[in-house]
Amino acid sequence: MQIKIFPNETELALTAADIFEETITKKPNAVLGLATGASPVLTYKELIRRCKAGVISFADVITFNLDEYCDLPRADKNSYYTFMQENLFGHIDIKPENVHIEDGNAADFEAECKAYDAQIAAAGYIDLQLLGIGTNGHIGFNEPGDAFTDGTFRIRLSESTIKANSRYFTDSKMPEYALTMGVGSIMKAKKILLIATGSAKADAIYNTVNGPVSPHCPASVLQTHPDAILLLDEAAAARL
């Protein structure tokens, strides 16, 4: 696991964008695994800037998002579909048919998850997977538990995640379930980039780097990935 520590979020985002640029330049039809939440926002802003400046193009890029809430209309302001439109897809030259996000309102969740895994496999798996990390060490919505998860599945969100994310649900109740890529799906990515900033992430980062590889801190599995890079600010890296 490579660890890079930055004095501020702007420099961190520039490095993250450089890694995306390198991936897309080498392979214009790269398969990207994308994340939502606060962590990737500045990186997405920089990717939008580079796309508008003609430095990179997403015309042939294929994307798969990590996760989506269940029982939330796609058009809801808090859906990850809306997040991705507002923070990335609506501002770049990606083809809508190349964008994949789980359908959290599918009538048959099991079939939806199987189909999602099949689409990732058919695309040749993910070249570059972007991750945030929960304060409890989750990646995607893989919450701490007794076993590492495998493919895409439906999860009941932990109290800690509900507490962390309910700040966005100011006028509605936060969903308690989500569909998420499993740890197995994430680990199949050729390269993994995890972004963490702020002191609230310091314990999770400590456990990710120094703890045992354990499903009680799902991100610790990255210790066993051949090409995982952690991009941290000083506050998130404070306990290393």
State the DSSP code for 214: B
**11 is annotated as an active-site residue:** no
Total residues at interface with ligand PGA (CB under 6 A) = 7
Q: How far, in Å, CA of 135 to CA of 202, rounded?
A: 8
CA angle 79, 23, 114 (to 5 degrees): 45
Binder of ligand PGA out of 84, 133, 193, 237 (CB under 6 A):
133
Binder of ligand PGA out of 33, 104, 132, 182 (CB under 6 A):
132
**143 is annotated as an active-site residue:** yes
Q: How far, in Å, CA of 85 to CA of 36, rounded?
A: 11
**4 to 43: interface string for ligand PGA, x by CB under 6 A:** ---------------------------------xxx----
**67 is annotated as an active-site residue:** yes
Helix 41-52 and helix 80-87, axial crossing angle in degrees, nearest 10: 40
Residue-wise DSSP of 137-154: --BTTB-S-SS---SSEE
Q: Does the protein bind ligand PGA through residue 134 (CB under 6 A)?
A: yes
**136 is annotated as an active-site residue:** yes
The alpha carbon of 173 is separated from its chain's Cα centroid by a whole number of angstroms, namely 23
Q: Report the nearest approach of ligand PGA to the CB of residue 71 (Å).
A: 19
Q: Which of residues 167-186 bind ligand PGA (CB under 6 A)?
A: none
Q: Does the protein bind ligand PGA through residue 137 (CB under 6 A)?
A: no
What is the number of helices (H) and of strands (E) in the chain?
A: 7, 10
> Contact positions toward ligand PGA, by CB under 6 A?
37-39, 132-134, 138
Q: Which residues are catalytic?
A: 67, 136, 138, 143
